[in-house]
Amino acid sequence: MYAKNDKIQTLVTDMTSTGEGVSKADGMTVFTEGAVPGDKITSKIVAVKPNYLKSELISIDEESEDRRKDQAVCTYQKQCGGCPFFDIDYSAQLRLKEKQVRDALERIGGFENPPVEPIVGAAEPFFYRNKAQYKVGPDGLGFYAKGSHDVVPTATCLTQPKNSGRIISLINSIIKKNKLSLYDEKTHKGLLRGIIQRTNREGKTMIVFVVNAKRMPEERAIADKLLKDSDIVSVYVNVNKAKGNRILGAENRLIGGEEYLTEKLGGRTFQISPSSFFQVNTAQTEVLYGIVKEYADLKSGEEVYDLYCGTGTIGIYIADDGIKLTGIEINPESVEDAKTNAELNGLTDAEFLAGKAEVVVPEAGGEPDCVILDPPRKGCDRSLLELLLEMKTPRIVYVSCNPTTLARDLKILAGDYTIEKVQPVDLFPQTGHVETVVLMSRVDK
Ligand SMILES: C[S@@+](CC[C@H](N)C(=O)[O-])C[C@H]1O[C@@H](n2cnc3c(N)ncnc32)[C@H](O)[C@@H]1O
């Protein structure tokens, strides 16, 4: 039996998605922050729970071969916590993510030898994000420190677009010069709550000032100043006067430049406005959607349901001429964006319906040849999966951002469907997140 403050020596063999090293001490699982798989460590136990121990790293006695060997350095990494996999080589990150998917399918889903393909890594594991959500602190823009609401001021960030350093410093100087007050969560006073930067693949950038007021002082002059930057093409104010930590309020007001950014994916065009949902890694999104298209294998005359469709991107990407597309999405604003995106791409046989998938699917009454599922992290509602079992749809393509709920949901479908292929894809290098695309086909009974 172990007690608090005991020192232990262990070999780290795995890593959680939040970046804690996992080892075993006399059969007990130990979680240790700062340790990576392959490290031999000495640590001090700080919490004893019935099924696991938490320990604090004292020393790395033998370093793992998987520790990062390249020159990438991030000064903020230890405080910011946005990149829990940063300390290990990219190839090791990929190995761990693929294992995460396989383990979940075996342990939670109960699948024996699931057909997991080698993970598709990113060609560019840095500077991949197309959207930055900066907090504002007394020392400038940055991100919350791990587990707190203190802002770690950040001069640049290795996962954000390459122009982020220049844009952060430009906005910091505007905040100072215009004496913009900072929002205080405790008192609900002060103006500036955050800054959002969205950047497309051409580098064209939209800036959104999220403010606790109807207007921002000198907003026109601020927009003019920003629009002089070679990349900034659009400047918005987002009005968020609500208490709580919702990032954006309902009202977006253009204060200078263009109304939208546009992005191309697989030859299709998508509009991005301040509130639209768009996957944050554009290059890997194209890879992900390409796999969905291949798995869906739609033929002219077929019908596809794109459930949890957001702004319609997957359905629009995969539905070529002759395919009937129905998208269903809970957020009515996203549904409007989806309709615009479908029009923009000349889709003639597409409809988008607002509501919960589990409620709207039975109302829609179609007989799709293929259903795409792309739910949030909590996975699908059980009633939707039961409905799919009744509908006897021939092919289901499940896109998941959480292997745990994916495995749980696939287990529900398993009696009537076979898992044909499982393809993990890395959309979030340096973090513990992994996307997975699964093709299931109906078993003939
Ligand atoms: C992971 S996102 C997928 C978005 C989109 N497929 C894409 O690739 O950009 C999940 C989406 O599911 C929506 N959602 C959440 N619960 C839902 C439900 N019960 N029914 C329909 N949509 C839902 C969210 O609003 C969000 O847009």
304-336 confidence digits (pLDDT tens): 999 999 999 999 999 999 999 999 999 998 999
Q: Which of 66-80, 189-203, 362-376 bottoms out in mean pLDDT, i.e. has the lowest?
A: 66-80
Mean pLDDT of 43-59: 96
The fold adopted by the segment(s) 7-62 is OB fold (Dihydrolipoamide Acetyltransferase, E2P) (2.40.50)
Mean pLDDT of 375-390: 96
Query: What does the angle CA 140 – CA 34 – CA 72 come to, to the nearest 5 degrees?
Result: 60
Residues of the chain with CATH 2.40.50.140: 7-62
**% of residues, the chain, pLDDT over 70:** 100
Q: Are 39 and 62 in contact (CB under 8 A)?
A: yes
pLDDT band per the 50, 70, 90 thresholds, residue 1: confident
Q: Assess whether the C-beta atom of 159 lies below 6 angstroms from ligand 1.
A: no
Q: Which of 31-45, 156-170, 228-242, 287-301 bottoms out in mean pLDDT, i.e. has the lowest?
A: 156-170
Q: Assess whether the C-beta atom of 313 lies below 6 angstroms from ligand 1.
A: yes
Confidence at residue 445, expressed as pLDDT on a 0 to 100 scale = 67
Phi, psi (rounded to 5 degrees) for 301: 95, -10
Mean pLDDT of 198-217: 96
What residues contact residue 26 under an 8 Å CB cut-off, 6+ apart?
2
Q: What is the mean pLDDT of the chain?
A: 94
Would you state the structure tokens that stand for residue 3, as one six-digit string?
């007690």
Q: Assess whether the C-beta atom of 337 lies below 6 angstroms from ligand 1.
A: no
Q: How many CB atoms lie within 10 A of CB 348?
A: 9
Mean pLDDT of 336-354: 95
Would you state the structure tokens that stand for residue 306, as one six-digit string?
């794109």
Which of 308, 384, 387, 397 gets mutated to test ligand 1 (max ligand atoms within 8 A of its CB)? 308
Closest CA to 135 of 196, 207, 179, 187: 196
Q: Assess whether the C-beta atom of 2 lies below 6 angstroms from ligand 1.
A: no
Looking at 80, 83, 380, 401, which residue is catalytic? 401
Confidence at residue 99, expressed as pLDDT on a 0 to 100 scale = 95
What CATH number was assigned to the domain covering residues 131-265? 2.40.50.1070
Assign residue 371 a region (left: φ > 0; alpha: ψ between -120 and 50; beta: otherwise): beta
Mean pLDDT of 232-245: 93
Architecture (CATH level 2) of domain 102-122+278-442: 3-Layer(aba) Sandwich (3.40)
Query: What does the angle CA 166 – CA 169 – CA 172 come to, to the nearest 5 degrees?
Result: 150
Cα of 72 from ligand 1 centre, angstroms? 34
**401: annotated active-site residue:** yes
Residue with tokens 């262990």: 10
Residues of the chain with CATH 2.40.50.1070: 131-265
Residue ID of nearest Cα to ligand 1 atom 27: 310
Longest dimension (CA), the chain: 71
Q: Assess whether the C-beta atom of 383 lies below 6 angstroms from ligand 1.
A: no
Q: Are 268 and 249 in contact (CB under 8 A)?
A: no
Confidence at residue 152, expressed as pLDDT on a 0 to 100 scale = 86
Would you state the structure tokens that stand for residue 12, as one six-digit string?
């780290």
**For every residue of the chain, which 3-state class applies, written as one string?**
CCCCCCEEEEEEEEECCCCEEEEEECCEEEEEECCCCCCEEEEEEEEECCCEEEEEEEEEEECCCCECCCCCCCCCHHHHCCCCCCCECHHHHHHHHHHHHHHHHHHCCCCCCCCECCCECCCCCCCCECEEEEEEECCEEEEECCCCCCEEECCCCCCCCCCHHHHHHHHHHHHHHCCCCECECCCCECCEEEEEEEECCCCCEEEEEEECCCCCCCHHHHHHHHHCCCCEEEEEEEECCCCCCCCCCCEEEEEEECCCEEEEECCEEEEECCCCCCCCEHHHHHHHHHHHHHHHCCCCCCEEEEECCCCCHHHHHHCCCCCEEEEEECCHHHHHHHHHHHHHCCCCCEEEEECCHHHHHHHHCCCCCEEEECCCCCCCCHHHHHHHHHHCCCEEEEEECCHHHHHHHHHHHCCCEEEEEEEEECCCCCCCCCEEEEEEEECCC
Confidence at residue 365, expressed as pLDDT on a 0 to 100 scale = 84
- In whole angstroms, what is the distance from residue 360 CA to residue 70 CA? 50
Residue 356 CA, closest ligand 1 atom number:
20
User: b/e per residue, 30-67, with b = 16+ CB within 10 A?
Assistant: bbbbebbbbbbbebebeeeeeeebbbebeebeeebebe
Q: Are 57 and 64 in contact (CB under 8 A)?
A: no
Residues of the chain with CATH 3.40.50.150: 102-122+278-442
